[in-house]
Homo-oligomer: A and B are copies of this chain.
């Protein structure tokens, strides 16, 4: 039973459901719905899909995640980054039927990948997207998203382009073709959103409102913008009178699925994009889930999250949606509005289904500019140059990864940008460990402590070199180590003993073992005996399985540097006077 509950957490929380959790779940479910209806439509538009697809993706996936997810407060659904990646993956497909089929394939493929990764416990793959890469990607993606909405905000046709400079150039050249009413509407709605998000909260708090309510209320801006935008267009018939682009007819109810159009060639082409969507979506989702869980001392199981997000995306594919994941802002709202269990998400799903069944006619007059305004304000905070400077200052190579990812996503596209960034992080890590820090150490006073001779005032022996290597020994640094060991001894003919201090060596791979054997042999031919000190348990266990210790010849393995130096200094004793 405990095992089943582990794979199906709903059994756990539904079985132990407390009445006291109900009001929080109901209220949070309602507030998230209020955010999700406009956001879902907006993000679907960002993904290049009809607005109702965003709502389709907000029913079944939420219920499935509530059943399988290990987080109780994560709000799953369409999010900005994944929508942008969907748009980028679908850009090559012509015709809305093809694009819709592509979106279903992306959801299905990324869902299957997530599920398989979860079953195979491959969640660690997400680790390879380092923080600088995610951060560089997020900033660049937010910029791309913002500029992609210019056409809706300005009411003009802008040719699709990869390069922001092309878009800006076109807008400047063709500025007079902008629809002035749309521009005015956009400016007004963006301003409203910003005011709603910032000053409104301060105002309500000063007016004495319960702070627990202020937070969620400030998140209802999108709903206000939708109501106001649609109201204005309907009132003045701005669509007919001023050419303001509207959402138009939205079919009521859930879609009838047509999986016959699925094309295997298309599926194959979309696989790499689906893989990246799965990885990026998982990283975003699990970070949010962990942050929320730790606030309440709950635990997140990364592999269970993979399976849950996988099932949610497969559900999205079979209910006419597109790729979903756990989003940051809606999850925060869900949490602060009092969600206690997955019931909040189920409430949201039911309310969205109700919206689809009965309320779609209300969105007919919704101007696309209103959705664009919601998108632009949502991502505006994600462009984060301060983080770049901070990373750069802490560590140049990490900063370089972040900058390269940012630049490559902007200049070469999302997939290439992320993969380049991930490859760079790995290459930089290998490069960094390929030339390890090494310290020649000496004894501190009369103690048993040994420190770097360059940083401390220590005593050394003329015929013994004690060298600490501060890195695992593996293929990328074997040649460097060989060179350093041979050079250290070549410069100092008096040295007869080399003590290799292994306190910071956590493992030695096969390449390094081979190289160490060669080095020990070469040093022995040069009259230098190699000893080891402070070898860690797991490393020693491995070495004992080989004949390496035999290669040491007269060399010994000492428990501590002190033991080694104490024994090796003896040849210097003057000896008894006869």
A contacts, CB < 8 Å to B: 124, 126-132, 286, 290-291, 294-295, 297, 299, 302, 390-391, 393-395, 398-399, 402, 425-426, 429-437, 452, 455, 470-472, 474-480, 482-483, 486-487, 490, 503-504, 506-507, 509-511, 513-515, 518, 522, 525-526, 536-538, 542, 545-546
CB distance from A524 to the nearest CB of B (A): 11
A470 touches B395 (CB 8 A): no
A286 cross-chain contacts in B, Cβ below 8 A: 479
Q: Are B398 and A130 in contact (CB under 8 A)?
A: no
What are 14 pairs between A and B in contact, CB < 8 Å?
A: A124-B476, A124-B479, A127-B434, A128-B430, A128-B475, A131-B514, A132-B511, A390-B546, A398-B509, A398-B510, A399-B510, A432-B507, A452-B537, A470-B536
Task: Tell me, rounded to whole Å, the shortest Cβ–Cβ distance linking A238 to chain B.
Answer: 46
* Given A299-B487, A545-B393; A127-B510 close (CB under 8 Å): no
CA distance in complex: A394, B507 (Å) = 12
Tell me if A433 and B302 are in contact (CB < 8 A).
Answer: no
Contact flag A430-B437 (CB < 8 Å), given A394-B513, A455-B537, A475-B127:
no
Flag if A429 contacts B486 (CB, 8 Å).
no
Identify the 3 closest CB pairs spanning chains A and B, nearest first: A130-B475, A131-B511, A398-B510
Nearest-CB distance from A172 to chain B (Å)? 37
User: Contacts of A455 on B, CB cut-off 8 Å?
Assistant: 537
User: A297-B526, A482-B290 known; A515 and B435 CB under 8 Å?
Assistant: no
Instruction: Please tell me if the beta carbons of A476 and B545 are within 8 angstroms of each other in the complex.
Output: no
Cβ–Cβ contact A394 & B503, under 8 A: no
Contacts of A475 in B (CB 8 A): 127-131, 425, 429
A472 x B433 contact (CB < 8 A): yes
Q: Is the CB of B537 within 8 A of A476?
A: no
Q: How far is the CA of A131 from the CA of B476 in the complex (A)?
A: 10
A124 and B507 form a contact (CB under 8 A): no
Q: Are B124 and A509 in contact (CB under 8 A)?
A: no
Residue in contact with A131 in the complex, picked from B394, B399, B437, B510, CB distance below 8 Å: B510
Q: How far is the CB of A168 from chain B (nearest CB, A)?
A: 31
- Tell me the minimal C-beta distance from A526 to chain B in angstroms: 6
B131 to A525, Cβ gap below 8 A? no
Write the nearest CB–CB distance from A249 to chain B, whole angstroms: 46
Contact A435 B124 (CB under 8 A): yes
Could you say which of A132, A395, A482, A525 has the most chain B C-beta atoms within 10 Å of its C-beta? Answer: A395
B479–A127 CB distance below 8 A: yes
Query: CB distance B131 to A302 under 8 Å?
Result: no
Return chain B residues, CB-CB under 8 Å to A433: 472
**Could you tell me the distance in whole angstroms from the C-beta of A286 to the nearest C-beta in chain B?**
8
Assess the B431–A490 pair: CB atoms within 8 A.
no
Nearest to A522 among chain B residues (CB) is: B294
Point out the residues of chain B lying under 8 angstroms from A131, CB to CB. Answer: 475, 478, 510-511, 514-515
CA distance A203 to B542 in the complex (A): 43
A137 and B302 alpha carbons, distance in the complex (Å): 37
Contacts of A509 in B (CB 8 A): 130, 395, 398, 429
Q: Are B474 and A429 in contact (CB under 8 A)?
A: yes
Distance A294 CA – B391 CA, assembled complex (angstroms): 43
Known: A127-B478, A395-B509. 15 other contacts (CB 8 A): A124-B431, A128-B476, A130-B476, A130-B509, A130-B511, A131-B475, A294-B526, A295-B525, A394-B542, A429-B430, A429-B474, A436-B506, A470-B536, A471-B472, A503-B504
Residue among A126, A476, A503, A515 with most chain B CB within 10 A: A476
Report Cα–Cα, A129/B518, bound state, in Å: 18
B506-A398 in contact (CB<8A): no
Question: In the complex, A548→B513 CA distance in Å?
Answer: 37
Known contacts A127-B434, A297-B526; A394 and B510 CB within 8 A of each other: yes
Neighbouring B residues of A472 by C-beta, 8 Å: 433, 471
B434 in contact with A124 (CB, 8 Å): yes
Closest B residue, CB atoms, query A432: B507
Chain B residues with Cβ below 8 Å from A477 are: 127
Q: Is A398's CB under 8 angstroms from B127's CB?
A: no
